[in-house]
């Protein structure tokens, strides 16, 4: 039940992140800005994630983890309450930044807590169950938030998310066990992890290698309607199929990572490169696109695998490493969306985002290969010295 609750918290936070994209036209209209300018609300949220993840991990290093999770949910509820009450562009921009602050730290700490509840050989699966909440946001949460937004406006959708955060706080208080704080943890020990090359190389593999998925996702709606031939009303069902693939990928990825972590990461990255390229090949075919998007969604298996990899190489900086993983994925969001947009603006067409994504996935493989090479060389040097 406790891991299910952790996944539920992830569902609320993930819904808030992705639902903002579907609510963007209403946000733009209400705050008297254009849709491109309103994209700043999404950027502000992502910036909040990137800033909040390491900052909270360092400052709250000595906190009991149950208390930290509840505090993060409280910050989430306050951020969405402020978003619902914002009255102009500037105040909504600030509220979106505030709402993004707990995102990375929540997923990182939740994965760490889940890992303490299972045997050593099931850590990745536990992380996968938590991250399944983020994946399920695309299947359940985003359609629900969009429906609420259509009935009551974007303020109603944000208010509902704030209420969901408050409910989650109560459920966490009841169902999450008290976990003794790590007495050895401190801001200094968390910062020590930043000295480890493996931490940075793994984060680079995540930041670049996962950008391919966002390259396609950021422009999926116009691609489906302008190229593939789906109607705008069919797009949510297509995205739900992608979300189902993400859930499947989380569960399978965690299982694979618990059996052979490093090979699993390599295989998943190769999988992503192949099927992202496949998107460009099959983008004009309705059936082909559906199949490929489901398989791209399965590539979300990389998330729990990299989460455990970071926990393994971080040493004493467990909370910081786990949180930085989600900062890395938000950087990949920016990288993928920017490069995909450049390809489209350069006249390469809607389907070109798949080729961009495949290229980023290959770069991720290269960075991860460098990471493993550095690790093996370090182990060889240590063996030689001893």
Q: Cα–Cα distance between 74 and 89 in angstroms, integer?
A: 24
The yes-or-no verdict on residue 386 having pLDDT over 70 is no
Match 């593939």 to its residue by tokens. Answer: 228
* Mean pLDDT within 100-115: 85
Q: Does 324 share its domain with 371?
A: yes
Q: Does 254 share its domain with 344?
A: yes
Give the pLDDT of residue 296.
92
Domain end call among 162, 183, 204: 183
Burial of 145 (0-12, 13-18, 19+ CB in 10 A): buried
Q: Does 168 share its domain with 192?
A: no
**What kind and span of H or E run contains 88?**
none
Q: How many CA within 13 A on the CB side of residue 86? A: 28
The total of other beta-carbon atoms located within 10 Å of residue 179's CB is 17
Three-state DSSP at 112 gives helix
Domain end call among 183, 204, 236: 183
Domain end call among 133, 156, 183: 183
User: What is the number of domains present in the chain?
Assistant: 2
pLDDT classification of 138: cutoffs 50, 70, 90: confident
Q: Cα–Cα distance between 241 and 97 in angstroms, integer?
A: 29
Q: Does 102 share its domain with 173?
A: yes
The yes-or-no verdict on residue 79 having pLDDT over 90 is yes
CB-CB contact of 249 with 131 (8 Å): no
Segments forming the whole domain that contains residue 380: 187-386
Ramachandran bin of 347, using left for φ above 0, alpha for ψ from -120 to 50, beta for the remaining angles: left
Q: Cα–Cα distance between 278 and 151 in angstroms, integer?
A: 38
pLDDT tens sequence across 200-234: 888 888 888 888 887 887 777 778 888 888 887 78
pLDDT tens sequence across 244-268: 898 888 888 878 888 888 899 999 9
Q: Does 324 share its domain with 378?
A: yes
Q: Does 145 share its domain with 245?
A: no
The yes-or-no verdict on residue 10 having pLDDT over 80 is yes
CB-CB contact of 293 with 73 (8 Å): no
Q: Does 230 share its domain with 367?
A: yes
The yes-or-no verdict on residue 159 having pLDDT over 60 is yes
Q: Does 63 share its domain with 167?
A: yes
Q: Does 213 share its domain with 76?
A: no
pLDDT tens sequence across 293-328: 999 989 888 888 887 788 777 777 777 777 777 778
Q: How many CA within 13 A on the CB side of residue 276? A: 30
What is the separation of C-alpha 327 from the centre of its chain, rounded to a whole number of angstroms?
A: 8
Q: Does 135 share its domain with 197?
A: no
Q: Does 35 share its domain with 106?
A: yes
* Mean pLDDT within 50-57: 85
pLDDT tens sequence across 274-283: 999 999 999 8
Report the candidate in 326, 17, 354 with the shortest Cα–Cα distance to residue 215. 354
CATH code of residue 67: 1.20.1250.20
Give the pLDDT of residue 183.
60
Q: Does 163 share its domain with 291?
A: no
């Amino acid at each position: 039940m406790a891991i299910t609750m952790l996944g539920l918290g992830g569902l609320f936070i993930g819904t808030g992140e992705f639902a903002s994209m579907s609510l963007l036209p209403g946000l733009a209209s209400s705050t008297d800005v254009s849709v491109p300018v309103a994209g700043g609300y999404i950027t502000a949220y992502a910036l909040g994630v990137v800033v909040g993840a390491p900052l909270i991990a360092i400052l709250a290093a000595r906190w009991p983890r149950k208390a930290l999770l509840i505090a993060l949910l409280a910050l989430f509820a306050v951020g969405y309450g402020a978003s619902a009450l914002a009255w102009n562009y500037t105040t909504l921009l600030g509220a979106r930044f505030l709402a993004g602050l707990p995102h990375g730290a929540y997923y990182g700490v939740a994965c760490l807590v889940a890992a303490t509840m299972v045997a050593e050989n099931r850590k990745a699966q536990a992380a996968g169950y938590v991250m399944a909440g983020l994946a399920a946001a695309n299947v359940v949460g985003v359609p629900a938030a969009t429906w609420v937004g259509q009935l009551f406006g974007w303020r109603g959708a944000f208010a509902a998310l704030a209420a969901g955060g408050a409910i989650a706080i109560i459920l966490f208080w009841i169902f999450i066990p008290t976990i003794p704080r790590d007495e050895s943890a401190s801001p200094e020990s968390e910062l020590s992890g930043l000295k480890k090359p493996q931490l940075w190389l793994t984060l680079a593999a995540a930041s670049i290698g996962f950008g391919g998925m966002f390259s396609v996702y950021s422009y999926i709606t116009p691609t489906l309607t302008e190229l593939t031939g789906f109607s705008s009303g069919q797009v949510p069902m297509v995205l739900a199929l992608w979300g189902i693939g993400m859930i499947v990928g989380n569960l399978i990825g965690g299982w694979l990572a618990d059996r052979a972590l490093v090979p699993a990461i390599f295989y998943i990255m190769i999988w992503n490169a192949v099927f992202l390229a496949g998107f460009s090949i099959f983008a004009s075919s309705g059936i082909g696109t559906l199949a490929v998007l489901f398989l791209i969604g399965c590539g979300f298996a990389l998330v729990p695998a990299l989460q455990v990899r970071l926990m393994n190489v971080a040493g004493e900086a467990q909370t910081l490493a786990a949180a930085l993983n989600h900062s890395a994925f938000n950087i990949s969001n920016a990288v993928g969306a920017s490069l995909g947009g450049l390809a489209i603006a350069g006249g390469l067409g809607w389907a070109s985002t798949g080729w961009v994504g495949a290229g980023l996935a290959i770069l991720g493989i290269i960075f991860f290969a460098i990471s493993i090479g550095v690790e093996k060389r370090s182990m060889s040097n240590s063996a030689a010295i001893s």
